[in-house]
Amino acid sequence: MKKMIVAFSALAAIVATPAFADDSMAGMSMSGKPSATKTSASSALTDAEVKNVDTASGMVTLKHGALENVGMPPMTMAFKAKDAAMVKQVHEGDKVKVRVENVNGTLTIVKMEKRS
Ligand SMILES: [Cu+2]
């Protein structure tokens, strides 16, 4: 009986491992395909201007263009930044490109890069 349990566990491990590998491979191949229209649209960056930076709360106020993925027209509003490093790299008046996504119900700047 014990042998059967061990055999089943080993089988489960074999079945589970390739599934995980497939997932990570799919993620990698998606980001490596800039020619795929759907992929580039789902990671599109939107022009924005930094109006205020609050390092204490991790909030960045942006005058942003239309954010199609979250259904928002152009406006000025505060967003939560994904991490503290992102908040520190920008200053009031900076022209940036941002990617805003709904992360667990909170509109979050997941990517922000300066425009030259
Ligand atoms: Cu907005």
Q: How far is the CA of 75 from the centre of ligand 1 (A)?
A: 5
Say what the pTM is.
0.65
Q: Ligand 1 centre and the CA of 45: distance in Å?
A: 14
Instruction: Establish if 17 belongs to a structural domain.
Output: no
> Rounded distance, CA 98 to CA 113, Å?
7
In a domain, 67, yes or no: yes
Asked whether 100 and 111 are in contact (CB, 8 A), the reply is: no
pLDDT at 31 over 60: no
- Give residue-wise pLDDT tens across range 14-29: 455 444 444 444 444 4
Q: Output the CA 78–ligand 1 centroid distance in Å.
A: 8
Whether 109 is in a domain gets the answer yes
pLDDT in tens, 51-105: 999 999 999 999 999 999 999 999 999 999 999 999 999 999 999 999 999 999 9
CATH number of the domain where residue 102 is located: 2.40.50.320
Domain span at residue 83 reads 41-114
35 inside domain: no
Q: Can you give the pLDDT at residue 41?
A: 61
As for how many domains the chain has, the answer is 1
In a domain, 65, yes or no: yes
CA distance 107 to 81: 9
Q: Cα of 108 to ligand 1 centre, how many Å?
A: 11
Residue 27 belongs to a domain = no
Distance (Å, rounded) from C-alpha 114 to C-alpha 89?
9
